[in-house]
A and B are shown apart, each in its own frame.
Chain A
Amino acid sequence: MASCLFRVLARPQVLKFASLRAVSINSLNIQHRNIHITRTFCQKYFTEKHEWVDVPEGSNVGTVGITDYAQDKLGDVVYVQLPDVGQELEVDGEAGVLESVKAASDIYSPVTGEVTEINEVLNDTPKKINESPYDEGWLYKLTLADPQELEPLMSEEGYNEYLTTIE
């Protein structure tokens, strides 16, 4: 067992994992500063589960989608089940389902809030999620109940670093 642990430690990916983990914590600190000082532009916040929420400056409405990494993992999306407008979503609560290559994957909301709009285009063209996950393939918009929930989320830079640790 001990030698097994040595072997695991010796694998370059594990040490990389450990060191990048530290980087991602640093990037979280940077992101804190972004929230308090530089909220002058549209910013996407990312979760470890590959969702993003975009909250423009001065707005309390967030747009939610899944990341390019997530759409690539899912494969071709063939059906999108979105929440209803007016539905109250909780942070990390189920918000819908994406179906791709015979798999039904639950979508979780990155923040708490009430759904104000859903991306109706996805009913006819669910593939927009694959083609344009950060833009035309957005899922729904919601009014943020608690903007502080954005604080633990990652910036785009932090998320990209996080991605290098999980493969």
Chain B
Amino acid sequence: MVSKPHGGKLVNRVADHETKEKIISEQKEYPRVRINHGIAIDLENIAHGLYSPLNGFLTQDEFESVLKTMRLRNDLPWTLPIVLDVQSPHFGEGDTILLHYESFPIARMHVEEIYPYKKTDLALKVFKTDDPAHPGVSRVYSMGDRLIGGSIELLNELPNPFAKYTLRPIETRVLFKEKRWKTIAAFQTRNVPHLGHEYVQKTALTFVDGILINPVLGKKKIGDYTDEAIIKSYEALFNNYYPKYTAVLTAIRYEMRYAGPREAVHHAIMRKNLGATHFIVGRDHAGVGNYYGPYEAWGIFDKFPDLGITPIFVKEVFYCRKCDGMANEKTCPHSDEFRTYLSGTKLRSMLINGESLNNLIRPEVLNAIKGLKNPFVD
């Protein structure tokens, strides 16, 4: 049996055609609020149920509960505050507003509450630091001084160059049903695949019916791989090394927060809503710099016996010359002198410097990356 949606019910907040037409024809009557790209993506994720059970942005009680207890007020695990910030709102509680990205109305929102919050408190609770050099903290400091909570209805989606790969929870659930998969391990990534990733994915696949490779597409930090590089390289891997009946490549559109442990749980919840029963948590999951311990994201899962998706913890993988293959601490008895560790940063630098990647990356994957004008975010 695939995972139940988080909270028991898959949320659908996409306005039907008739409602959408009506709202758009009346759009001048609504106060208009400009939103950024990340908020527009959050709106899609709420509306399509990836953030189930949320049906909008958090109200004050829910926000404080998430910060303090990492749970919604109904006790359901929820670790990241999904919020909408505004500066000097020109509307009030009880109003209905339209959220615009550039010139497009993206969603209608029923404003339940407008409330103040402390940015430092938010940063310290979620990111465990108030250092503005942390990309998530920096984003918090750039937010408006009020949050607004309330339910939403999605009217339009942002253009999506990878629409083919962006399956919504209802679609992945039907897909798993069609494939007769009952146990599914989800693998989150924001990197191009090297042999270490493949080793982890196939190890997990050995014990479940199917593997869901689920890259995160969307705004990332400078130096990260572009969405195109991630998709093209995984296409090359899938076309050559994965059986179609046990592996699926789909993506989610989501803006990384780099909140380490808290975000690892959020990533698991999103995959639970897609129907996955297991979630692979690697080294420094959702981390950035040295803000979190290498395996800190593992420990947080102990606090959630009721998460409803099983984490699979995987130690750092390396290439061992003596074993002549990929291995990890648990499977390889040899010393460090025989091992090549494969961090994303190291692989990136090897790619940029044109160093040999033999035994570290599939040639088809390497060719796919080399075929791109620039595989990195500028």
> Real complex partners, A and B?
no
Q: Which residues of A contact B (CB under 8 A)?
A: none
Q: Which residues of B contact A (CB under 8 A)?
A: none
